[in-house]
Structure 1
Amino acid sequence: MPIELGVWKINGALERVPFSSMESEQKLEEAITKDIGIIDSSLLLIGRQVMTAFGKIIDVLAINSEGNLTIIELKRNKTPREVVAQTLDYASWVLTLTYDDVVRIFNEKNPGLTFEEVFTEKYEVNLPERLNESHNLIIVAAELDNATERIINYLNGYGVPLNVVFFRYLKAGDNEYLVRSWLLDPNQVEAQSSKANTSKTGKQPWNGRDYYVSLGDGEFRSWEDCRKYGFISAGQGRWYSNTLSQLSPGSRVFACIPKTGYVGVGIVQETVVPIKDFTVLIEGEQVSLLEADLEVSMDIDIDDPDLCEYIVRVEWQKTVSKAQAYWEKGMFANQNSACKLRNQFTLERLAKFFEVDE
């Protein structure tokens, strides 16, 4: 079951802020399409109200940087089991979409825009040669019955990438808020699907936990500062910093200095924040990282959300100096600041070198 959330007002008398119903599910759909990042910041909206070949309508269709599609379906007035069946039916149609089909749907839903240009602008990489090698299914609901939850868990056990996101609505004064929770850990859903689809996609399965982090050591940041104060970072452009949003508390990261080698393994403690919002403990007090004794100044463009450095807090399990960096021919390296680490050869070597479980 999802974790039950509660919100309290603590200035003045302690008072619980009650959740309530939104005026309409259309308002929630509009919020999702206005900023699909409230579900997943790594998604790009293709369109809403997408007509299938058999006359049914998908509420929201999106794509990620790897070219894989995501179906997002609102429960509306349907029963939970009804919406699960309907979402699976939509998936059977999405499975048939070709590269040209995806481009056509985007262009139809976004007049005046070109899919290739929008994709490249968001991800700062060219479109993959192949699209829709796999897809994800997300149901947006206020609640589920026990039987439906069992069905979803069963399907996930067989690699069907189906998850449920719960949005709770609350209003305090003139302000409105959405609170999000997931039925299942999205990383674990993806890991299960990755294992099931390995033969189809040709990619090695992802274990749902491990990430590669490319850490440039030099003008803008220092590996020794990262070791000392417990963080990883990226900046000087959204292309570099955006991928850090993939990292969530509990993720395991292997830090690699480009053209040098792997220097550390640690567990993510917090999600990414701009550098001016990141604090560290010094002599018993929490102070801004910018006030710490850093080997490399990191106060460049701190008020520019596109160019500033972004930070992820990490509890290091084991680190080595840059001079002791570990590298073997054939190990995984990537230009992204963060990406899923699937390469089994690399994972085996790193587990042995850093003395952590594979």
Structure 2
Amino acid sequence: MALYRLNYEKDDLSDGVLEKADRQDVDYERDFENWLENSPHILLDNEEDLNIIWIGRQVTAVYEDRYKYPDLIGIDAEGNVVIVELKKGKAPREVIAQILEYAAWAEQLTYEQLNIITMKYFERKNEYLGMELSEIHQKIFYPDVDESISITFNNRLRLFIVAEEISNTIKDIIYYLNKFGIDITFLKYDVFSNESGEYYISTEIEEAKTSMVKSKKNSSSNSVRWNGDEPIKTVVKNAVDTILSKSSDGQFTMKEVIDSIIIKYPDFNKSSIRCQLYSDCVNHNSRKYYKSGQMDYYFQIQGTTYRLYEKNKDGNWNSEGQQIN
């Protein structure tokens, strides 16, 4: 795969020249694992999935009296456990057995055990120091909901293998396991740099053959996903525009957007709608958790009430939800 940077001076790009970026070797443990920990959204190729919160790194997992150390453990918006195994270079065939051993261990984790892992991980993050998993989860995924959200943690597992290359044999095994409801995804990555010393990361998701992985405990749970052709960002924006076309004050609420979309798409994931609003709301405190594909669409007035963002009126805001000069 070749990656190029477009160098240009004219606004219409007509004088553009393609500058090739060269592949670079990285110290996997020192570099890429850190980058992934800082950027969990790169695992989520489906725009309906907007974020993962990590709760552990190199956690000690005991399986059949042997010690295992999953690279990263996380939780998604629905409380599902996410496990990531990273490999430098080409993923060996043994990685399948390794990730399944992690799954066998993680499948049995209770909320109390997940909470212990989480609180230990966040000992070094002052923002969540002393907070339990359920509190952190609600703060990130449901910050505007006053009442306590009931989440069934570890309802199913989501497994990721990340490497620079994967064999067709491993692909076939992953596809086969997907058919039986084992949710394994492969993420291929490459690191490039150009003559200016700028770095570029290319990622590619190997899609599962099955359209949906069933819950291991409740096949009718809210983990059923919408599989429409429109990106979730577009679905939410269209719903907002429809609501505002009938509004006299130019305002809309989170509930109105959710209700509007659910009427049209009954199986749509409600938490994904909330996360998309946080991502595209310039001044929302939770925007910093959703940095993948942000757009400056909305402005939070108060609580769950919003309006459209007006740059001349509202000023400039960054990806952290902070106002800048």
Q: TM-score band, normalised by the shorter chain?
A: 0.5 to 0.7
* Paired-residue identity, %: 22
The residue aligned with 2:139 is 121
The residue aligned with 1:249 is none
Shift in CA distance, 207/24, structure 1 to aligned 2, threshold 3 Å: closer
The 8 Å contact of residues 52 and 76 in structure 2, kept in 1 or not, is answered as: yes
- Match of residue 84, structure 1, among 91, 96, 117: 96
The residue aligned with 1:175 is 198
1:301 aligned onto 2:314 = yes
User: Once structures 1 and 2 are overlaid, which stretch shifts more, 37-46 or 77-86?
Assistant: 77-86
1:161 aligned onto 2:158 = no
The TM-score with structure 1 as length reference comes to 0.59
Select the structure that is richer in strand: 1
Alignment partners' CA distance in 1, 2:151 and 2:176: 33
SS of 1:63 mapped into structure 2: strand
Alignment partners' CA distance in 2, 1:220 and 1:103: 42
Quick one: higher RCO (CA 8 Å, sep 6+), 1 or 2? Answer: 2
1:140 aligned onto 2:162 = yes
Shift of residue 148, structure 1, vs aligned partner: 0.9
Structure 1 counterpart of 2:317, one-letter code: D
The 8 Å contact of residues 90 and 163 in structure 2, kept in 1 or not, is answered as: no
The 8 Å contact of residues 2 and 21 in structure 2, kept in 1 or not, is answered as: no
Alignment partners' CA distance in 2, 1:5 and 1:158: 36
Shift of residue 75, structure 1, vs aligned partner: 1.6
The residue aligned with 1:48 is 57
Shift of residue 221, structure 1, vs aligned partner: 6.0
Shift in CA distance, 245/79, structure 1 to aligned 2, threshold 3 Å: closer
Structure 2 counterpart of 1:177, one-letter code: Y
Shift of residue 44, structure 1, vs aligned partner: 0.5
The 8 Å contact of residues 158 and 183 in structure 2, kept in 1 or not, is answered as: yes
Gap regions ≥5 residues in structure 1 = 224-231, 247-270, 277-295, 309-358
Cα RMSD between the aligned structures? 3.5
- Match of residue 174, structure 2, among 130, 149, 152: 152
Structure 2 counterpart of 1:85, one-letter code: A
Shift in CA distance, 171/198, structure 1 to aligned 2, threshold 3 Å: same
The TM-score with structure 2 as length reference comes to 0.65
Alignment partners' CA distance in 2, 1:236 and 1:76: 37
Pairing 1:25-64 to 2, within 5 Å after superposition = 25-40=29-44, 41-54=50-63, 55-64=67-76
Shift in CA distance, 145/99, structure 1 to aligned 2, threshold 3 Å: same
Alignment partners' CA distance in 1, 2:59 and 2:192: 29
Alignment partners' CA distance in 2, 1:46 and 1:240: 18
Alignment partners' CA distance in 1, 2:217 and 2:119: 32
Alignment partners' CA distance in 2, 1:38 and 1:106: 21
The 8 Å contact of residues 70 and 102 in structure 2, kept in 1 or not, is answered as: yes
